[in-house]
Amino acid sequence: MLILGVTGSGKGRLAFELAQTIGGEIISIDSMKVYRRMDIGTAKPPIENRQLIKYHLVDVVEPSESFSVGTFLDLTRKAIEEIKSRNKPVVAVGGTAMYIKALLYGMFEGPGTDEQIRSRLKQHAQTEGLDGLYRQLQKIDPVAAQRIHSNDAKRIIRALEVYELTGKPISSFQQQWNHAEQETRNSKPEIRNEERPWTIIGLRREKAEESKRINARVKKMIDAGLVNEVRLLLAGKKLLSKQAACAIGYAEIIDYLAGKISLEDAIELIKKNTRYLAKHQRTWFRSFGNVNWLDVGPDEPFESVLSRAIAISCGS
């Protein structure tokens, strides 16, 4: 069973209640919940939940370390083997779309790398700013530019690096991956089911309702002590990795603590960037096949959502 949805959709609660109901264990598919002591800003499941249900891929690396999709796949395969060895159902849940896609359809390798090109692009971003590189990306690969945030230096640089290496936009390679994925869906379904035994449930809400939930979630994080959590992370002996420092909620508070912006502006930026993340997730999820979408109304009781999810998990 795999549960997906945009940030703040309620998928974490659904996964917990479903795992309790069927006696399963949970695998987190979240690129930020892997970091220890990054709890409030990543909306980790409460400690009491983790005492009742075993969670995998939560708190597995230090904030100073990097974490890749390859590492995620390795740890996930091990977790699945462990859970199956105990004859328990697997309940995977998350919103990191690239990780989900890699889990379902394999990993997009793409062209190789060139450190000289990458170093030159990084130096350009540091000395002249990221705006110019983003405008360049918009010209050579508007499809990728639409998917990549203008502040996402890592992905902008990677897209430009691929273009310089191959003369082709990175979106063309990703389209090839999508085509291969579609062929996998359409060929030998009985074998596909054996190789990818995932029943996928997606939680979906109206965009206005999602934005309302995101705003409420950000307020809850601030009230819970996000600023102090970031302050303690920065006071650690090792610097935060670029991946951890760029996480939504943390990057904005880091700028606030550095005196670059006010707390009020940081909070508004977190809301704005989280809404952009949700938009990005929706775009990714639309490309996924075989998702059992649950359209959740603003006033629908959670028990109703859980009941519908249980019915899908039981094949009703």
**What is the number of other CB atoms lying within 10 angstroms of the CB of residue 288?**
18
Query: What pLDDT digit, counting tens, does each position of 150-200 carry?
Result: 888 888 998 898 888 788 888 877 665 555 455 545 543 332 333 457 999
- 203 in the same domain as 274: yes
Separation of alpha carbons 62 and 77, rounded Å: 21
Count how many Cα atoms sit within 13 Å of the Cα of residue 51 in the half-sphere of its side chain: 3
Residue from 24, 28, 1 nearest 94 by CA = 28
Contact 15, 219 (CB under 8 A): no
Query: What pLDDT digit, counting tens, does each position of 37-55 carry?
Result: 999 999 999 999 999 999 9
The answer for 249, left when phi > 0, alpha when psi is -120 to 50, beta otherwise, is: left
- 237 in the same domain as 198: yes
- 187 in the same domain as 256: yes
Report the percentage of the chain scoring pLDDT > 70: 91
Which pLDDT does position 143 carry in this prediction? 87
**Domain with 79 in it:** 2-107+176-313
Which pLDDT does position 172 carry in this prediction? 79
* Residue 124: CATH number of its domain: 1.10.20.140
SS3 120: helix
Backbone φ and ψ of 49, nearest 5°: -65, -40
**Token pair of 207, please?**
């965009």
Q: What is the mean pLDDT of the chain?
A: 89
Structural domain ending residue among the three candidates 147, 168, 189: 168
Domain count of the fold of the chain: 2
Contact 102, 108 (CB under 8 A): yes
- 146 in the same domain as 51: no
- 305 in the same domain as 264: yes
- 49 in the same domain as 12: yes
* Residue 79: CATH number of its domain: 3.40.50.300
The more confident residue out of 45 and 316 is 45
Which pLDDT does position 287 carry in this prediction? 82
- 203 in the same domain as 97: yes
Which pLDDT does position 195 carry in this prediction? 46
Residue from 161, 200, 137, 184 nearest 5 by CA = 200
Which residue is listed with tokens 């050579």? 140
Separation of alpha carbons 208 and 217, rounded Å: 14
